Amino acid sequence: MGVRYNEKVKELLDKVKDRRYYEDVKKITEMIDSGNKDRLATEFTRCFINDYKHLKCPPYESWYRERTIYGKVVAELYDIYSKYGIQPMKELPDHISTEMEFLAYVFYLGKEDEGKKFLVEHIFKWVPQFVNDIEKYHYGEYTKLLGNSLKLFLEELSNDLESNK
């Protein structure tokens, strides 16, 4: 969740007051509103984009499943996305933001079984380790909150999956 989505997230906050990740997301929006966007951008970049000498939290499924960037899973994701007429433009198909946007889109379309399948075959196979890395290597409160809110969100998704079996 970054600066460009902050206003939209604030609009949606009331709808998730009962969720465990609510407080973390609220704090994230407050940090973004605090006006210290350069510090937050630096923290975000160091954690997820570029950190000398070694990036510790690469936000890519292929990294966690294959230990490479642009691995075999990318071709699989292109196939899945193409069935919906989607062609990722800004990020790689296995980037956390691309996968989460796709997941939201599939559930928006009402294709719950396909969304659950995507969770099991992709999200749950790598994002928990990604979250563990964020918890271990975060560079400040902002990235720590991003990781924790993602962890809590995934736990709720997992619990929802289990209760709907």
Class of CATH domain 62-141: mainly alpha
How far is residue 68 CA from its own chain's centroid? 19
pLDDT > 90 in the chain, percent: 75
| pLDDT tens figures, 4-31 | 666 778 888 989 999 999 999 999 999 9
Q: Is the preceding peptide bond at 8 cis, omega within 30 degrees of 0?
A: no
Amino acid 1: pLDDT: 54
Domain ranges of the chain: 62-141
Cβ-based neighbours of 118, under 8 Å, separated by 6 or more: 80, 99, 102, 103, 106
Half-sphere exposure for 57 (CA within 13 Å, toward CB)? 24
The Cα 138–Cα 90 span in angstroms is 24
Higher pLDDT, 110 or 162: 110
Out of 38-47, 52-61, 71-80, 126-135, which region has the weakest mean confidence (pLDDT)? 52-61
pLDDT band at 54 (very low <50, low <70, confident <90, very high): confident
pTM over 0.85: yes
pLDDT band at 102 (very low <50, low <70, confident <90, very high): very high
